Amino acid sequence: MTPKIALIGGSGIYELKNLQQAREEKLNTPFGEIIFYSGKWGGKDIIFLPRHGKDHKIPPNKINYRGNIYALKFIGIERILSTSATGSLNPQIKVGSFVIIDQFIDFTKDRPPALFTEGDVIHIDMSEPYCPELRNILISVSDELRFSFYPKGTYICTEGPRFETPAEIKAFKVMGADLVGMTNVPEVVFAREAGICYASVAIVTNMAAGIKGGNLTSTEVSQKMKEAAQEITELFLNAIKEIPNKRGCVCGSVLKDSKMKPL
């Protein structure tokens, strides 16, 4: 059976444990070669794609976002669940918690703005950038598992790979951000343009710069992601069992109303 669900692993999530019949796949796209892994997980055919590569050799500003989404669309993926390591700007959102992201702010600089920049002019609707059906499943399963989580949060995406300054974090708080990370954009945008349902679970690895005393380190982020790996695996394993075969959202059809046409 052709896989319909893909998992994109962020920092610290470089493999999918207990992925049965695992096989490395390579696909040439207009944006370059993409490597991903296929297999059975939780009784379902699954694709796993480590966003930073298996050994975290790809920084957030160098990820082939276009190629990744193009490849997943090409092989027939309809739903994507992803993880994102984040810093918290909100004192109420504690380190170690999960956040089911519902909005984003794009503060990237040099990333492609659209999956395709030639042909029809597309103005994609991002009123609900993250699939409401997938989000509701993640919220329900997180609640059932009694995980420490927040059902919504606004994620601001920076260019990276450096961490943010306290002054930037202060400005981001004024803008309404709860979390800061480096990878959700343009991934979520390209998924919407491709008609793929997309939801992301933010894993809070640290308080953002200036929120709490001390410097930020990659070691701290890696350690917190390692600690969260078992719970995020359990969350996704249970969530994919609840995903219905037929989509009950509009993610797959939003593109038809997004093309500019002369009156």
Give 150-162 pLDDT, tens digit per residue: 999 999 999 999 9
Which of 33, 40, 50, 52 has the alpha carbon at shortest distance from 5? 40
Residue pair 197/86 in contact (Cβ under 8 Å)? The answer is: no
pLDDT band at 19; cut points 50, 70, 90 = confident
Domains and CATH numbers, the chain: 5-257 (3.40.50.1580)
Q: What integer pLDDT is reported at residue 1 of this predicted model?
A: 57
Looking at residue 263, its pLDDT comes to 54
CA dist 119 and 175 (Å) reads: 34
Q: How confident is the model at residue 119 (pLDDT cuts 50, 70, 90)?
A: confident
pLDDT at 86: 96
Which range among 62-71, 205-214, 249-258 shows the weakest confidence by mean pLDDT? 249-258
pTM of the model: 0.94
Residue 160: CB partners within 8 Å, gap ≥ 6? 59, 60, 61, 182
Q: Which tens digit of pLDDT belongs to each residue from 211-240? A: 987 888 888 888 888 888 899 999 999 999
Residue at token pair 């920092």: 11
Question: What single string gives the DSSP state of each residue in 40-85?
Answer: EETTEEEEEEETTTTTT-S-GGG--HHHHHHHHHHTT--EEEEEEE
Q: What is the mean pLDDT of the chain?
A: 92
What's the rounded mean pLDDT across residues 69-76? 97
Q: Which two tokens stand for residue 117?
A: 């920049």
Q: Within the chain, how many helices (H) and strands (E) appear?
A: 5, 11
What 65-68 contacts at long range (C-beta under 8 Å, 24+ apart), as own/partner pairs, is: 65/111, 65/112, 65/186, 65/187, 65/190, 66/29, 66/31, 66/112, 66/115, 66/190, 67/29, 67/31, 67/32, 67/33, 67/34, 68/8, 68/34, 68/187
Number of other CB atoms surrounding residue 64 within 10 Å: 16
The pLDDT, as a whole number, for residue 256 is 76
